[in-house]
Structures are given as structure tokens and as C-alpha cells.
Amino acid sequence: MSTDRISSSPSLIETMRTIARDRASGTHRGGRIPTTDPSTGEHPESVGTRQIGELRLRLRELALQVDTADPQSLARARTPALREILLWEFGDDFRSDSQFLPMVGAIDSALDADPGLQQRFVELMASLQKD
């Protein structure tokens, strides 16, 4: 059974997914955002093509450039990390959706407002650096 966990901090990713889905309000390019396929439990766009390893690799590349002891370094890495996660979650075409940048901003603001989520982001970056 595969899992879509990137690190030992799955709650950060789940929180981001929830914020993203709430922000999208069920629309994606004029239609519903793909949820999960009831027969497989996976996102329709992700079946066979979007593996968690792909996301982990992209995020690891970002994490290797981050000084987890430097708040400015973490802040610079956060937006690109959020973009990578959202594009993995909703597909590369979501980049051109009118809700993409507002969603990144909403998630970024939610992370700013919650010290616990900020700490989880630090833990995510540190975990990816160790992989």
C-alpha cells in the first residue's frame, strides 16, 4: 500500500491540501477539482503518472538550498515549495488557473498565522535535506 507522505510531517501537507481545496471552492478551470477515484482511492490525474517520489525529488532540490536556522531562507523557500505541492496535487495545468496564485497566497498566509505550521515546514525541509 503506497502512501503520499513526503516526510514524517504529513499533517502539514494535509493542512495545505485542506486550505487549497477550501480556497478552490470546488472549481478548477470552470469545473470541479478532481477529488479521488472511488474505485482506486487516487486522484484521477495522479494514477500512473504523478508519484510521490516525483514531488519528494522536487522538494528535496528546494530543501537543499535552505538554511533551516535562517527564517529568511525558510521564507524564500516556502512559496516555491507550496507551488510544487499544489501543482503535484492538482496537476501542472493548474498553474494557468486563475485560482493558483491566490491559493498559494492563502496557504502562505495560513502558515504565517500558525507557529505550529511554520515549525512543521521547518521539519519538512530538514527531513528532505536528510533523505
Give per-residue pLDDT as tens, 39-95.
444 544 444 446 888 889 999 999 999 999 999 999 999 999 999 999 998 888 999
Spans of all domains in the chain = 10-130
- The more confidently predicted of residues 32 and 72 is 72
Has residue 38 got a pLDDT over 50?
A: no
Q: How far apart are CA 34 and CA 28, in angstroms?
A: 8
- Report the percent of the chain where pLDDT is more than 90: 50
The answer to whether 4 touches 112, Cβ cutoff 8 Å, is: no
Does the pTM exceed 0.75?
no
Q: Which of 74, 78, 77, 82 is nearest to 23 (CA)?
A: 82
Q: Which of 95, 91, 127 is nearest to 11 (CA)?
A: 127
The SS3 of residue 2 is coil
